[in-house]
């Protein structure tokens, strides 16, 4: 038994070492992702809960690693955040997404929204406001149709700087969404002090619908408070028609999720525009 325990320990240590090696390698390889054109943006529609009509898209980056294939953002974004290369990646995603938004708007003649994720390090980067302004100018995409999504986590690090940055971005005319809302520390009352336009309800709550009582209580409280504060609410991770119907009953206006569409490359995502546009 003792020998077995030891073997397990060795195997465990091996696994740890292997994981650490993979992280280190991926982190090193990330430097080439932008210059070697290994990133691609997928787009997931945001829809109106009542009728499923597409109002815009969220841009979600993917990394096609030359040797390892697709590496999910949940794995490489944190690594990019550690080294700081996230600012280069984020700038690339932003430019790509607003250019795509401008092309789709032109093709359909209907204004649509584009949402882009901003990591904490990106938000606190001194160049971010100028970067966003330049990306909008170069693409011709209207500031009012761009949403920047930030998580509550960024507010923990340096709340004054984060709030000042969000205000500067809003002054450009872009909208701010608080991503993964409900998972952070902040709680509902905190919302009052945030320069935000949109709340995105985390999919862990949506996944508990329709039976989860605490989830539906929380969602209706968020919707209620959002109405008072004049914020829009988007529910993430809607996978079933039952969840959609429950959200409609809870008066949640917008949603995203596999029920409507998965994130897809631009040439496929564009098909959802047939029912698109800002209502």
Binding site for ligand C2E (CB under 6 A): 44, 60-61, 72-74, 77, 90, 93, 117, 119, 179-180, 203, 236-239, 256-258, 263
- Choose between 27 and 108: whose C-beta lies nearer to ligand C2E: 27
Least distance to ligand C2E from the beta carbon of 133, Å?
A: 19
Stretch in the footprint of Ca ion (CB under 5 A) among 68-76, 114-122, 185-193, 255-263: 114-122
Closest distance of CB 12 from ligand C2E, Å? 27
Q: Is 179 in the site for Ca ion (CB under 5 A)?
A: yes
The region of 19-27, 76-84, 95-103, 147-155 touching Ca ion under the rule CB under 5 A is: 147-155
- Of 44 and 254, the one with the shorter C-beta distance to ligand C2E is 44
- CA–CA separation, 33 and 228 (whole Å): 44
Strand partners for 59:
43, 116
Binding partner of 60, given Ca ion, ligand C2E, none, CB within 5-8 angstroms per partner class: ligand C2E
Residue 87: contacted member of Ca ion, ligand C2E, none (CB under 5 to 8 Å, by partner type): none
| Interacting partner of 47 out of Ca ion, ligand C2E, none (Cβ under 5 to 8 A depending on kind) | none
**Residues ≥6 apart with Cβ < 8 Å to 188:** 221, 222, 225
Q: Which partner in ligand C2E, Ca ion, none is near 100 (CB below 5 to 8 A by kind)?
A: none
Residue 120 site contact among Ca ion, ligand C2E, none (CB < 5 to 8 Å, cut-off depends on kind): none
Beta bridge partners of 254: 48, 234
Q: What are phi and psi of 148, to 5 degrees?
A: -110, 125
Tell how far CA 59 is from the center of its chain.
7
**Partner in contact with 1, chosen from ligand C2E, Ca ion, none, beta carbon below 5 to 8 Å by kind:** none
Nearer to ligand C2E, 43 or 104 (CB): 43
Q: Which of 44, 117, 139, 186 binds Ca ion (CB under 5 A)?
A: 117
Kindly indicate which of the ranges 101-109, 115-123, 239-247, 256-264 contains the residues binding Ca ion, using the contact rule CB under 5 A. 115-123
**Contact of residue 74 among ligand C2E, Ca ion, none (CB under 5-8 Å per partner type):** ligand C2E
Chain-centroid distance of CA 85 in Å reads 18
Give 145 or 244: the residue with its C-beta nearer to ligand C2E: 244
The two three-digit tokens of residue 109, written as one number: 């003649």
Considering the complex, state which of residue 102 and residue 118 has its C-beta at the smaller distance from Ca ion.
118
List of residues contacting Ca ion (CB under 5 A): 117, 149, 179-180, 236
């Amino acid at each position: 038994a003792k020998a077995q325990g030891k073997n397990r320990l060795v195997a465990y240590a091996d696994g740890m070492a292997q994981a650490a090696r993979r992280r280190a390698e991926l982190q090193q390889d990330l430097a080439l992702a932008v210059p070697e054109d290994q990133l691609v943006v997928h787009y997931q529609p945001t829809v109106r809960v009542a009728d499923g009509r597409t109002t815009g898209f969220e841009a979600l980056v993917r990394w096609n690693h030359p040797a390892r294939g697709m590496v999910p953002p949940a794995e490489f974004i944190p690594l990019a955040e550690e080294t700081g290369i996230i600012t280069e990646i984020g700038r690339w995603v932003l430019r790509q997404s607003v250019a795509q938004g401008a092309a789709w708007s032109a093709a359909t003649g209907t204004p649509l929204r584009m949402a882009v994720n901003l990591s904490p390090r990106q938000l606190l980067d001194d160049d971010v406001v100028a970067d966003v302004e330049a990306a909008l100018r170069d693409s011709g995409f209207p500031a009012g149709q761009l949403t920047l999504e930030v998580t509550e986590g960024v507010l923990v690090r340096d709340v004054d700087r984060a709030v000042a940055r969000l205000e500067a971005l809003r002054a450009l005319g872009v909208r701010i969404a608080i991503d993964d809302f409900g998972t952070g520390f902040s709680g509902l009352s905190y919302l009052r002090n945030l320069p935000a336009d949109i709340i995105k309800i985390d999919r862990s709550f949506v996944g508990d619908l329709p039976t989860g009582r605490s989830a539906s209580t929380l969602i209706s409280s968020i919707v209620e408070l959002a109405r008072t504060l004049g914020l829009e609410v988007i529910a993430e991770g809607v996978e079933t028609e039952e969840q959609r119907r429950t959200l409609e009953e809870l008066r949640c206006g917008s949603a995203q999720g596999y029920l409507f569409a998965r994130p897809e490359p631009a040439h496929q995502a564009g098909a959802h525009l047939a029912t698109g546009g800002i209502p």
